Amino acid sequence: MRLAIIKYKAESASLATAQYNISEKEFIMGKIESYVLNNHKSVQTTAFTELEEARSALNNSLLRLEVLSNLKIINK
C-alpha cells in the first residue's frame, strides 16, 4: 500500500515540476502573470513535501519491521 502511495506521490511531483517548468517559460515570454507562476511553484513544493513525507513513513515502517523481526531489510 505505501509503495503505491509513493508511486502516486512521485508521479504527482514529476507532473508538478513539468507544469512549473512550462509556466516558467510562459512567464518569461509574458504569457502568464507572476501569481500563476507562484501558484505552480507552490503546487510543486507541496508535491515534493508530500513525497518526502511518504518516503519517510515507509522508511520508519521498515525500520520498525527490522526491529520486530530481527532481520536486516534496509541497506544503508
How do the domains of the chain map onto residue ranges?
2-69
pLDDT value of residue 68? 96
The SS3 of residue 72 is: coil
End-to-end Cα spacing for the chain: 23
Query: How high is the pLDDT of residue 64?
Result: 95
Residue pointed to by grid coordinates 534496509:
74
Residues of the chain with pLDDT below 70 are: 76
The pLDDT of residue 35 is: 98
Q: Among all chains, which residue has been given the C-alpha cell 515570454?
A: 29
